[in-house]
Amino acid sequence: MTPQITFKSALPWLIVFALAALIPVFTSNRYILDVAVNIMIWTIAAYGLNVMLGYAGILQLAHAGFFGIGAYTVGILTLKAGWSFWLAWPAGVALCAVLGLLLGLVAFRTGRETFPIFTLGVGVIITQVINKWDALTGGNDGLNGIQAPKLGSIDFGRGAAFFYLGLITLGLVIFLVARVRSSMFGRSLIAIQGSEDLARTLGINVFSHQLRVMMLSTAIAGLAGGFYAVYIGFMGAAITGVAQTFVVLLYLLVGGVGTLAGPLIGTALMFFLGEQLKNFGDYQFIVFGPLLILMVMFAPGGIAGLWSKTMFARQKPPPPADRSQQEATDAGV
């Protein structure tokens, strides 16, 4: 049964976020805050992929493309249309949701087996369109000068304000995903993942649920992308590439597909490891590759899944002793 949200289950999350909120209090080091914000951005993106792959069992390979659409929407609307970030950001999320719906209307009709390949092709098309549409996206030159948002007297381009905006956004996304996971909709998605035919016999509209989870997934990707755009201040087509989708997928596989904590754990661990190895360039995959193989072999449920399994094993009561053992114990042997 899908777990319900209770104070006991939420307490570890509250502790983690309370500790995270203290980071800017104890350090003003720009590098540390930069790594922390990037981890939050890519964790949000990983949660978007997790609701598709982890709950519905559907691998969608245009995820970075929707991340880029959200980012470019914010960049274009703020730079060229003069919109406020606070209007452009939800507009980017809404656009990604609508495009996710349109993609789903076509892609889900191709069949579950061909769905990943279809979305892979769409991801390539998104990158090419962004890269070639010079008048709108800047083409190879990208978008420069995207300004950090302001809210009254708060300038999110300075100090710890951006960190706390990211932390609040991440917290809201985790809360939303947790609610979805514990809802009837989430339970229906898990049933669809197990067997679409069985789900239909239970009265579940499989196609409708798939479209809704597609919209949710792409909307979360656009949310992360819009936040990324104003934090980095520059957008290039490379961030929308299929390779970036596989990076997010790596975060998810290491953390634990279908788990609530997996995207956060996997992204934090792998992004931090990538920062330590970034001077090695593409050679860092010599480390990532074997690590992923070991995770698949020994912890297919990821770190979060392995932890849950270990804790469950610890909580299991010891097997009852057989009669002869019990008699020996009673006799003092």
Number of domains in the chain: 1
φ/ψ of residue 57, rounded to 5: 70, 30
Residue 271 inside a domain? The answer is: no
Lowest-pLDDT choice from 33-42, 88-97, 133-142, 174-183: 133-142
What is the rounded end-to-end Cα distance, in angstroms, of the chain? 44
Whole-model pTM above 0.95? no
- Look up the domain containing 196 and give its range: 7-240
Residue 319 inside a domain? The answer is: no
Percent of the chain whose predicted confidence (pLDDT) is above 70: 88
Q: Which residue has the higher pLDDT, 117 or 152?
A: 117
Residue 320 inside a domain? The answer is: no
Residue 235 inside a domain? The answer is: yes
Residue 302 inside a domain? The answer is: no
Residue 137 inside a domain? The answer is: yes
pLDDT at 235: 87
Alpha-helical regions (H) of 235-322: 242-255, 262-277, 285-298, 302-315
Q: Which residue has the higher pLDDT, 227 or 148?
A: 227
Residue 111 inside a domain? The answer is: yes
Residue 300 inside a domain? The answer is: no
CA-to-CA distance for 64 and 144, rounded, in angstroms? 20
Q: Which residue has the higher pLDDT, 281 or 246?
A: 246
Phi and psi based region of residue 236 (left: phi greater than 0; alpha: psi -120 to 50; beta: remaining)? beta
> DSSP per residue over 72-116, as a string?
HHHHHHHHTS---HHHHHHHHHHHHHHHHHHHHHHHGGG-TTTHH
